[in-house]
């Protein structure tokens, strides 16, 4: 047995020596390799549509030298993040082994083993891929930093580039933000509360969750005591010291522009022409489509509308329909409480906002604004005697033929399903795909009722094809990216693809104004009739409602605004909660159009206008109680003897 253990020991020593020789060789190669630039980590400057800076990561004016940083902060950081920083060559092997043992025995990832140099190396990259290739790149950067820079330089860079929450990168920025003082003057209490933040800024910022921040501070203080940096008495005094924050009031206001910033960084990762590390660019200048006035107003409206409301969430996208440029974006009510970006990452059931794709397909297949189906309770029977019985909202039916324009105004489900089955599912799916919907759309009878989950940016882009009279646009936030020397690394392509007929989009756009038009008041009310006295401009508008989701998407030639309201947990909405999406939508649109002339679409040469009875779609006569101007492709205008006004589907039956 002794011989066996001696042999194992020899083999272990052999591999250990080989490993040390190999590692030594790697460090030697790193020493003679070109020196990497490390002070560009997280160096980002993001500009709005006017070229004004609205976000800057580290590399800002507030870079501070290590000698000017409070020793309290330096010691707290070393104790919390890497107590052996000055004694290893980038990797703490003992710490790695210890963390591995603890994680294996506990069957969970309870401890990490990244050194300060490793964390700094990770921050040199624009994204945080978890691939093996990225891990190897981070390891190489760690070795290169240790080979080319002394420890003080690495620590200084690290402290000037890490994230302290609320968009504050670097300790000097953070110190001035939280305490209105330079990092040179941080007390032990202040230093330890700040040191706890980078582990998880969303959880440990004292301005977000003070109790969690204090719990983390105590952990940092205990580590300092354990490493004999402070005494137990100093720990108790620091922990009990009252803290006064200079930005408490400002941070309680939702800072939704951070959702836009996060979306920009997510889009940046997908641009192939951008090098994946800051060391190759020495920082980036990113020019976006952000309209800061629109974003600020949108944020103010949301804050005003949701006062006293808990848990209910919102996402909103404002898009230039001519370019696809996203001028404002909100991914939630309060970035400080939830960084989950519902605008970029969520997919939700879209409800009746799916119907305009269907009705465009209908126009393309010979339907007109006057084409009618009977509004009545209907059960559809399919193969194998499978049935489907959709219902209208509030179970209201006209018990008579109604026009497509009326069906849009009321968001009539029976009419939509009849149209969908009449055309075949391919028609709706084809139009949705043409305008940019990438979600997989199922071949089901309920598809036009919005049972499919789709992202809000895709929906805004889809409606942009209606707003710009037929062109698919690529939704995007970034217009241009430059490196630190002004070299253009990326320029957004102004690509528009004609996918819809402009005459048909004109007809559809006019029908979508019926959702708030009093001329459609009959056995039902238009879905957005309450907005009629509040709108000073003309818009196309469609709402969508499911048990868990409420949407408003509307537009004119200038702007498309999409609003979603619901719960992250898919909790059912109450009727009184439907007002939030509507109010945010109309107030946002009205503010954006304030002071502008009312812009609408010119009547195409091949389109004629006819006075009709809006509910039935029949041509108006002298005896007609209501008359409305509707638009038709020339040659398709309705006549009094059209049989379509007495439709009865043979494949349906009354319930």
- Report the catalytic residues: 81, 352
CB 606 within 8 A of CB 503: yes
What are the tokens at 330?
């909100």
Q: What is the number of helices (H) and of strands (E) in the chain?
A: 22, 21
CB 343 within 8 A of CB 259: yes
CA distance 91 to 114: 8
Q: What separation in angstroms does the CA of 354 have from each of 357, 413, 459, 526, 642?
A: 6, 11, 9, 17, 29
Torsional sign, CA 169, 170, 171, 172? negative
CB 83 within 8 A of CB 228: no
Element (H, E) at 235: helix 232-240
Rg (CA), the chain: 31
556-501-317 Cα angle (round to 5): 35
* Main-chain dihedrals φ then ψ at residue 161, nearest 5 degrees: -130, -10
Sheet containing 313-319: order of strands:
326-330, 313-319, 560-566, 549-555, 540-545
Cα-Cα-Cα-Cα dihedral of 341, 347, 352, 354, to 10°? 110
What are the tokens at 41?
């980590």
Task: Name, in order, each residue with C-beta under 8 angstroms of 87's C-beta and a sequence gap of 6 or more.
Answer: none
Q: How is the chain split among helix, strand and coil, in percent rounded to 5?
A: 45, 15, 40
CB 565 within 8 A of CB 311: no
Cα-Cα-Cα-Cα dihedral of 420, 422, 426, 431, to 10°? -60
What are the tokens at 463?
């409606």
Closest CA to 601 of 435, 467, 472, 500: 467
73-79-85 Cα angle (round to 5): 100
Q: Please tell me the total number of residues recorded for the chain in this structure.
A: 655
CA distance 246 to 254: 17
How many other C-beta atoms lie within 10 A of the C-beta of residue 246? 12
Query: Residue 484: helix, strand or coil by DSSP?
Result: coil
């Amino acid at each position: 047995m002794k011989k066996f253990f001696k042999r194992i020991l020899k083999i272990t020593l052999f591999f250990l020596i080989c490993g040390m020789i190999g590692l030594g060789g790697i460090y030697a190669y790193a020493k003679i390799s070109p020196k990497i630039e490390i002070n560009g980590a997280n160096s980002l400057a993001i500009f709005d549509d006017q070229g004004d800076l609205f976000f800057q990561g580290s590399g800002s004016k507030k870079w501070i030298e290590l000698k000017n940083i409070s020793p309290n902060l330096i010691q707290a950081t070393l104790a919390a993040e890497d107590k052996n920083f000055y004694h290893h060559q980038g990797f703490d092997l003992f710490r790695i082994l210890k963390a591995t043992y603890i994680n294996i025995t506990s069957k969970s990832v309870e401890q990490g083993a990244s050194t300060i140099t490793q964390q700094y190396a990770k921050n040199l990259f624009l994204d945080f891929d978890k691939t093996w290739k990225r891990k190897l790149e981070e390891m190489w950067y760690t070795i290169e930093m240790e080979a080319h820079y002394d420890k003080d330089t690495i620590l200084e860079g690290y402290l000037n580039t890490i994230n302290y929450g609320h968009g504050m990168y670097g300790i000097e920025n953070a110190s001035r933000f939280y305490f209105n003082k330079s990092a040179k003057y941080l007390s032990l209490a202040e230093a330890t509360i700040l040191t706890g933040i980078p582990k998880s800024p969303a959880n440990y910022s004292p301005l977000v969750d003070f109790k969690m921040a204090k719990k983390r501070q105590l952990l940092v203080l205990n580590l300092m005591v354990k490493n004999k940096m402070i005494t137990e008495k100093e720990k108790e005094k620091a922990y009990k010291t009252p803290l006064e924050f200079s930005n408490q009031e400002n941070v309680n206001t939702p800072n939704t522009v951070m959702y836009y910033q996060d979306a920009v960084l997510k889009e940046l990762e997908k641009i192939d022409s951008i090098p994946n590390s800051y060391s190759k660019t020495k920082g980036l200048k990113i020019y976006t489509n952000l309209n800061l006035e629109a974003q600020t107003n949108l944020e103010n409206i949301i804050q005003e509308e949701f006062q006293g409301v808990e848990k209910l969430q919102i996402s909103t996208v404002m898009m230039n329909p001519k370019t696809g440029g996203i001028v404002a974006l909100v991914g939630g009510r309060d970035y400080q409480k939830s960084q989950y970006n519902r605008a970029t990452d969520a997919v939700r059931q879209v409800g009746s906002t799916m119907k305009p794709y269907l009705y465009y397909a209908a126009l393309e297949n010979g339907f007109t604004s006057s084409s009618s189906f009977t509004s009545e309770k209907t059960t559809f029977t399919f193969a194998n005697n499978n049935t489907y019985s959709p219902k209208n909202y509030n179970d209201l039916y006209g018990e008579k033929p109604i026009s497509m324009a009326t069906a849009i105004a009321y968001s009539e489900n029976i009419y939509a399903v009849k149209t969908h089955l009449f055309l075949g599912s391919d028609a709706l799916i084809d139009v949705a795909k043409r305008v940019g919907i990438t979600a997989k759309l199922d071949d089901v009878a309920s598809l036009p009722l919005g049972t499919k989950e789709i992202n809000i940016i895709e929906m805004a882009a889809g409606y942009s094809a209606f707003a710009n009279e037929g062109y698919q646009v690529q939704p995007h936030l970034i217009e241009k990216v430059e490196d630190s020397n002004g070299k253009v690394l990326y320029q957004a392509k102004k690509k528009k693809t004609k996918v819809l007929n402009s005459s048909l989009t004109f007809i559809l756009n006019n029908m979508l104004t019926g959702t708030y038009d009093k001329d459609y008041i009959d056995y039902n009310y238009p879905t957005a009739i309450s907005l009629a006295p509040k709108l000073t401009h003309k818009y196309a508008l469609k709402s969508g409602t499911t048990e868990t989701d409420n949407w408003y998407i509307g537009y004119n030639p200038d702007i498309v605004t999409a609003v979603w309201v619901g719960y992250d947990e898919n909790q059912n909405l109450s009727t009184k909660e439907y007002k939030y999406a509507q109010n945010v939508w109309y107030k946002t649109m009205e503010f954006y159009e304030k002071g502008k002339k009312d812009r609408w679409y010119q009547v195409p040469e091949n389109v004629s206008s006819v006075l009709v009875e809006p509910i039935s779609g029949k041509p108006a006569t002298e005896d007609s109680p209501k008359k409305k101007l509707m638009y038709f492709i020339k040659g398709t205008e309705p006549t009094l003897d059209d049989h379509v006004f007495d439709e009865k589907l043979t494949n349906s039956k009354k319930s």
